[in-house]
Chains A and B, each alone.
Chain A
Amino acid sequence: MLDPVNYTIWLAVLLVEIFSLVCLLRKKAFSKHFTLVFYLCACVATDIGSYTIIHTSGYESDAYFYFYFYSQSLLTICLYFVLMNLYTHVFSEMGVGKYIRACALLILAGTAGISYYLVAISFNRMVTHFVAELGQNLYFVGVVLTYLLWGAMAKLRENRTRLLQLVLSMGVYVSLSAGSYAMNNLYPNHIFWQYYFPVTSMWLPLSWAYTFVKVPADAQLATARVLAPNQ
């Protein structure tokens, strides 16, 4: 069973994700930003699934342990689809969508392969360690890809405020997650992590809800004003 703190965090995360999903659907983001809606649906399904498993098998059970790590890996892969969507929007005028998708899938497969290799040579193919290593590496590749996208946006003088804030909030989330996973790898089994990861997972749904509700679709903002100080 969940303790009161865990239960409160679980409920808060679920409510924030549902709230964000409703905001996105009300602002008609389904067709233009399908991957964002898909990611939020996957988050909601994961939360409900984890609650069900905790109730049936218990918080300390192997079933929950495996479910948690594998669902987190799948959510990270969903996050790649969100990133691909953002790339497609930024480079929409160049018509390079299919190349971006192919590239992202290659990087995804490569990261999974390297993570598996690193674990295979050092830990006798321990599956759970592979998943933790994969999480860290996938988020780090996410950091690199988001950084490249942000650099391209600055170079192309991208000025759509919504897109700008979506990319920056994604950058914050993947950097935070990559750093946290790295620390988790260095100091595993600490009770802090079971509260920390769910709390940080609220960042993306909250920032997306803010962007879609408060920033008009046609709002524009010069990237240079965000990059260069005091212009």
Chain B
Amino acid sequence: MIAGLIFVVSSLTLLQFFVSYSRSIITESRGHTLSEQARELCGIRSSLLAGEQFGRLNQLMALCPEANDDGFKVKVVGIYFHLLGFARTFIGWAIPSADTWIETERGGCAYVAAVVLDRRIAHNRMMVANLASH
């Protein structure tokens, strides 16, 4: 009985802490302005990204490796992105107003991926420039 109660309460607090942690990563990334080069390369037109772009940005990230990685950040935001997708499927039909919030959050996840990609592109360009100068 006590174990069951602890499991339920812990699951709820886990959800809240994880959402807040992911949001802190997203908010932190919002402070970074995407470079024109990255926007051009990724085909990003506005500062608000759609959630669907997350998958494509992840694929682009895989093509653009970097030594000093943000892998942990991408993994956490990736889990949050899938959690939001799950919430949209199972809660969206019951609370239609939640759909807008979920889509904005998924857009935030895509923005984090775009920021990481931007940094990787800048890093790789610098590496190429260094190689060319030698």
Residues of A within 8 A of B (CB): 118, 136, 139-140, 143, 146-147, 150, 161, 164-165, 168-169, 171-172, 175-176, 178-179, 181-183, 185-186, 206-207, 209-210, 214-215, 219, 221, 225-227, 229-230
| Residue of B2, B3, B72, B73 with most partner-chain A CB within 10 A | B3
Whether the pair B3, A185 counts as a contact (CB closer than 8 A) is: yes
Interface residues of B (CB under 8 A from A): 2-4, 6-7, 9-11, 13-14, 16-18, 20-21, 23-25, 27-28, 70, 72-73, 101, 104-105
| The one of A150, A183, A230 that contacts B17, using a Cβ cutoff of 8 Å | A150
Q: What is the CA–CA distance of A181 and B2 in the complex, to the nearest angstrom?
A: 12
A147 touches B28 (CB 8 A): no
Output the least CB separation between A96 and chain B (Å): 24
Please classify the interface of chain B as helix (H, G, I), strand (E, B), loop, or mixed, using the class held by over half of its residues. Answer: helix
Question: Which residues of the other chain, B, contact A140 by a CB distance below 8 angstroms?
Answer: 6, 9-10
Contacts of B10 in A (CB 8 A): 139-140, 143, 175-176, 178-179, 182
Flag if A161 contacts B3 (CB, 8 Å): no
Name A179's contact: one of B6, B27, B104 (CB within 8 Å): B6
Chain A nearest CB, measured from B33 CB (Å): 16
Nearest B residue (CB) for A170: B17
